Chain A
Amino acid sequence: MKKGLLIGLGALVLLIIIFGLMLQGSYNELVRLDQETETRWAQVQNVYQRRADLVPNLVATVKGYAAHEREVLQEVTESRSRVGSVQLSPDMLNNPAAFQRFQEAQGALSTALSRLLLVVERYPELKANQNFLELQSQLEGTENRIAVERKRFNEAAQAYNTRVRQFPTNLIAGFFGFHPRLYFQAAPGTERAPTVDFSS
């Protein structure tokens, strides 16, 4: 009789321990994924900043050869300054309006830059300029980095979101206030900025 009680008590304690460990595991998993999306987001912002930093130099170089392409140059400069004013901190990653503003501002700069690179085609001297070539390859490299970091952020955010929504983690997530995050959504084929081929 007494032995049975002891066994029952032991089993109960064991169950509580197991439950506690499970809870702890889920919680820590959420914290880790949450932290990772923030790290990834910081990387995304880094590479966008890197692109923005290239623009003034690029504009100055192009101006030296194609000063009368005023419209395109102005578009680039304006979208560059707009990008600077639309920053998005990690805690705003679940604010759709802010996220869209961010994406639109960066998208406008992408469009302006690819237009600029198209215009440049008409200026063989500029295309032969070593400084311009360096800037151009840096810009291409940075666009590629943006694609990479966006993809990594999306992967992190999706892993996090899945965890937040899955049963039974969603109960823990709800209790501790973990909310799903937004990620970049692009129609297939538009994830990459359009590339301009200069070789032909």
Chain B
Amino acid sequence: MRTLVTLILLFTSSVPLAALEVPSLRSRVTDQADLLSPEQEAQLESKLAEFEQQESTQIAVLIIPSLEGEVLEDFSHRAASQWQLGQKGRDNGALLLVALQERRVRIEVGYGLEPKLTDALSRRIIDQEIVPRFQQGNFFEGIDAGITAMMGAVRGTYAPLSTRDKAPQFPSPLIPLFLFLLWSLFWSRRSRRSRSLRRRSGHLHAEDVWMMGGPRYPGSFGGGFRSGGGFSGGGGSFGGGGASGRW
């Protein structure tokens, strides 16, 4: 379904599609500019992994050599959305993006973290923790201080998820089929009535929710996104929260 919509968009979209490609997600620290040594990457990685264990919040770091003319905020949102950082339904993901050539840095905050990691706080983390260190050329220290501050802002907000990474699954393939048949029957009786009702009230009906998989994330049934590596997003969404800065 989603691919279909994407395809339709591909061919009809009047908005020019961005050129800069989002790298596939393999680990929490993606360094495309070779800014960090492997040891430093591993250090950040384990820090972030431990944090995710404790808080279920996913924070990732992306370092790119250049934005290639794209708007920082657009690319950042695209990367965070594509990676689906954060747990589905909680949207507790965040991305720290560094664009080397443009000397820009951005913290992109998932919907669920916005109350804790506010725009103002993100901005302060950038201005006070990251930028001063970057200006001295201490990139690792800046990133480390940045994610430490981000974790500090989040800590205590989310209890660890016990059923983490387990998308609800149907026990048998027959059940969806059965549901579908039932629902088709249901639909044929109710279709006209429910549509006129919905038009008036704006409420979602059971069958719509079933179709959409929840009101806010239509068509994205988590899963489907499992790269062979050690890390993948949990299905979180992003609404453009966060802050940008430059050094």
Contact = CB atoms under 8 A, between A and B. Distances in A.
Interface of A: 21, 24, 27-28, 31-32, 35-36, 38-39, 43, 47, 90-91, 133-134, 137-138, 140-142, 144-149, 151, 154-155, 158-159, 162-163, 176, 185, 188, 191-192, 199
A155 B119 contact: no
A105 to B, nearest CB: 21
Most buried by A among B195, B207, B212, B216: B195
Contacts of B14: 158, 185
Interface in B60-104: 71, 73-74, 77
Given A35-B208, A134-B120, A188-B16, A145 B243 contact: no
Nearest to A91: B199
Contacts, number: 92
B110 interface: no
B193 to A, nearest CB: 13
A24 B187 CA distance: 8
Nearest to A142: B119
A149 B120 contact: no
A36 B212 contact: yes
B240 A145 contact: yes
Given A28-B187, A38-B202, A155-B9, 4 more contacts: A32-B208, A32-B212, A91-B199, A159-B9
A144 B73 contact: yes
Given A39-B216, A162-B8, A133 B123 contact: yes
Interface in B1-16: 5, 8-9, 12-16
A133 B120 contact: yes
Contacts of A151: 15
A24 B241 CA distance: 39
B209 to A, nearest CB: 10
Given A39-B216, A159-B8, A141 B16 contact: no
